[in-house]
Structure 1
C-alpha cells in the first residue's frame, strides 16, 4: 500500500475503534510510519482481497487493538494459498517474445517469474487446472485402472495383450473412459463382475453341464454397464 492508502486505512480503523485515536501529532506520525513500513508489500484491494475488510473483521471479532501485523499476516496467508492453488502451467507458445532457439532459457525463466509475480500480487488469476492428467476424466481413468490392478510394466502388458484379450480390452476401455461390461455382473448368465460372460456346455458323453467363456458379453450386461457408468459419472461430478 502507498502511504496515502495506509493513511486512509488508519482513518477507517480509528473510525471503527475510537480507542486508536491519538491526539499527539508526533505519535500519530510515528504510527503512520510504522504501518507504512509493515504494509508496504500488502495491496489495498485486489480481486479476492480487501485490506479494509480484513481490518474490519479483526476489530469486530478481537478484543485487542488492531496492529499492522493483523493485516499483513492474513495477506501473506492469502498469497500463499493463491500460489498453492496456482499450478504454474506456463505455456511458452503463448509468449511469442520467447525465442525457441534461446539455449540459456533466460527468457523463459523471466516470463515464468513475471507470471508468478503477477499471480502473487493479484494482477493475474491463478491457474488451477493442470494441462495434463487433470479434471474428472483423468481421475476416473486412474481410479478404474487402479480397480483393475497393475502388476506388470506397460511394455510387458502390451506384449501379453494378445494372450489375455479380456484384460487388454478392459484396460483400453478404462483408458478411453468408456463403459466396461465386466464392471457389472451379468443378470443372464450370472457371471460375476470382472469375469467374462459364459455359455452352458453339455458333455455329450456324461451329460455333465459346464460353462465356457464367451468372447462378447450378453446384451443385457452391456446395457447395465452403460447405466452403471453413467450413474458413477454423475456421482463423481456431484462430488
Structure 2
C-alpha cells in the first residue's frame, strides 16, 4: 500500500483502539514509517475480498493485544495462499512454441490471482462441447485448421501409419474406411483393423494393420454412394 494508505489505515486503527495513537509528532512519524515498511507489499483493498481495514478490525475485535503490522500481514498471506491453492493454470492463449511468452502469461496470471486482481481459475470438468474455450485459442484453431499443426502431423505420420493413411485417403476424396465397422475383423468405427485369427465368430486380434481390410473400403464406398440417393429421396 502507498504511504497515504498506510496513514489512513493507522487513523482507522486509532479510532478503534486508542492505544495505537501517538501524540508526539516524532513518534507518529516513526510509527508510520514502521507500518509502511512492513505493509509495503500488502494492498489496502482488492476487487475480490481483501480489505486491510477489515483484517485490522477483526484483530481488534478478537484479541486483547494491541495490533501490530504483522496482524494485518498474516491475514494477507493466508488470503494469497488460499487463492493460489484454488487456482488451476488455464491454458495460455499465446503460441505454445513461444516458451518465453507462454511462461510470462502463466506467471502473470498467477501474480494477478495472488494479488487479488483476478479470480482463481478452477479446473473445468470434461464436457462434450466446446463451451468456455478462450476466444484467442478458438481463433488460432480456426487459423491452423486443427489442434495439431500440419508440420507436427507430418512428423507424427511414421509413428501412427493407420491414422496417416486415413487422413491421406480423405484428403484425396476417397471414402473414410474407418468410419464404418469392419465385417472381417469386427473393428468398431474409428478403430484400425487388426489381423484376424480363426474362421469362426471367435475373433482374436494381434497388432493393428496399417491399412484397413479391402471389404471395409467397399462398405465405406457403398455407404457414401447411398447418402446422395437418400438426400435426393428426402
TM-score by length of 1: 0.51
| Number of residue equivalences | 128
Residue 110 of structure 1 corresponds to which residue in structure 2?
104
**Mapping 1:1-239, distance limit 5 Å:** 1-46=1-46, 47-88=48-89, 90-92=90-92, 95=93, 98-102=94-98, 105-128=99-122, 130-131=123-124
- Distance (Å, rounded) in 2 between the aligned partners of 1:100 and 1:20: 53
Q: CA deviation at 1:99?
A: 3.0
The answer to whether the 8 Å contact 2:96/2:102 transfers is no
- Distance (Å, rounded) in 2 between the aligned partners of 1:133 and 1:37: 46
Q: CA deviation at 1:131?
A: 3.4
Over 2 Å off, 4+ runs: 98-102, 131-134
User: Secondary structure at 1:49's aligned position in 2?
Assistant: coil
- Distance (Å, rounded) in 2 between the aligned partners of 1:133 and 1:22: 58
- Distance (Å, rounded) in 2 between the aligned partners of 1:59 and 1:49: 17
The answer to whether the 8 Å contact 2:42/2:76 transfers is yes
Provide the alpha-carbon RMSD of the alignment.
1.9
Q: CA deviation at 1:44?
A: 0.8
- Distance (Å, rounded) in 2 between the aligned partners of 1:132 and 1:61: 40
- Distance (Å, rounded) in 1 between the aligned partners of 2:97 and 2:41: 36
User: Secondary structure at 2:26's aligned position in 1?
Assistant: helix
- Distance (Å, rounded) in 1 between the aligned partners of 2:109 and 2:97: 21
Q: CA deviation at 1:121?
A: 0.5
TM-score by length of 2: 0.52
Q: CA deviation at 1:110?
A: 0.5
List alignment gaps of at least 5 residues for structure 2: 128-200, 203-234
- Distance (Å, rounded) in 1 between the aligned partners of 2:101 and 2:85: 24
List alignment gaps of at least 5 residues for structure 1: 135-161, 164-239
Q: Could you say if the C-alpha distance between residues 109 and 101 of structure 1 is closer, same or farther in structure 2, counting changes exceeding 3 Å? A: closer
- Distance (Å, rounded) in 1 between the aligned partners of 2:61 and 2:88: 35
Per-residue CA deviation, residues 179-228 of structure 1 (Å, 9 max, x unaligned), is xxxxxxxxxxxxxxxxxxxxxxxxxxxxxxxxxxxxxxxxxxxxxxxxxx
